[in-house]
Amino acid sequence: MPYTSHPELYDLEYSFKDYAGEAATLERIVRARNPDAKSLLDVACGTGKHLEHLQATFTCEGTDIDEGLLGIARRRVPDVPVRQADMRDFDLGRQFDVITCLFSAIGFVGSLDGLAASARTFARHLTPGGLALVEPWLTPDAWVLNRPHLLTYEEPELVLARATVSGLRNERISTTEMHYLVATPAGVEHFVEHHELYLFTNDEMRRAFEDAGLGVDYDSTGLIGRGLWICSR
């Protein structure tokens, strides 16, 4: 299943995000721990908006599961190799000084086994002394059930509204039914996307990285207030 049926809307939907500022923060975190880091792999890179900025400092590659988003990334960062790969199980045959996995993409791995497998993938692809920076999804106690939320975006010839209500499939799987209305001169389209993200506890995150052989630090603020796991090989 692709992440989205409308990849062309992703950057509009998240146009409020400060990718340049986040990339600068990531660079500071990396330099403080590994001043000589040169190569970086962005796992679940989406449309390549972090790579766009990180490529100025690091020799970058990217992976994502969604070909539609990768097509946009290829146009945005033509000099950065990006390829389709599921973070739970890929082998690029090389290692990187830095791996990033951002904006809660780790929540999409579906289970504790998926988290453990992803942590092993990250560890396998890190050089000795390398760093994996993983921005988590919410913990079970932070998920507020049945909360309505509205996101809007406007430009002269396109307006978008996304209305959601938070749900649960079971006590550990958060669900979001996302109803989109997209109006252009051609008319108004309505479609629905369904996302499920696993709610890992901090202990589960820490254990998965430790079991993969990584040293683990946790920054409770991180890039956007969701925290950041800083794991070193």
Q: CA neighbours within 13 Å on the CB side: how many for 168?
A: 14
User: Is residue 198 involved in binding ligand SAM (CB under 6 A)?
Assistant: no
Report which of 91, 101, 84, 100 is spatially closest to residue 125, judged by C-alpha positions: 91
Q: How far is the CB of 125 from ligand SAM (least distance, A)?
A: 13
**Contact stretch for ligand SAM (CB under 6 A) within 97-105, 152-160, 168-176, 208-216:** 97-105
Task: List, in sequence order, the alpha helices (H) in the chain.
Answer: 10-13, 19-33, 49-54, 67-76, 112-124, 202-211
Q: What is the DSSP letter of 137?
A: -
Give min distance, CB of 8 to ligand SAM, in A.
14
Residue closest to 149 by CA, chosen among 179, 184, 104, 190? 179
Q: Which of residues 36-75 bind ligand SAM (CB under 6 A)?
A: 44-46, 49-50, 64-66, 69
Please give the residue whose beta carbon sits closest to ligand SAM in the complex: 46
59, two tokens:
């020799």
CB of 19 to ligand SAM, least distance (A): 7
The answer to the question of residue 13 lying near ligand SAM (CB under 6 A) is: no
Give the Cβ contact number of residue 172 at 10 Å.
15
> Per CB under 6 A, does 222 bind ligand SAM?
no
Tell me: does residue 103 bind ligand SAM (CB under 6 A). Answer: yes
Instruction: Count interface residues toward ligand SAM (CB under 6 A).
Output: 19
d(CA 197, CA 176): 9
- Residue ranges in contact with ligand SAM by CB under 6 A: 3, 44-46, 49-50, 64-66, 69, 86-88, 102-105, 108-109
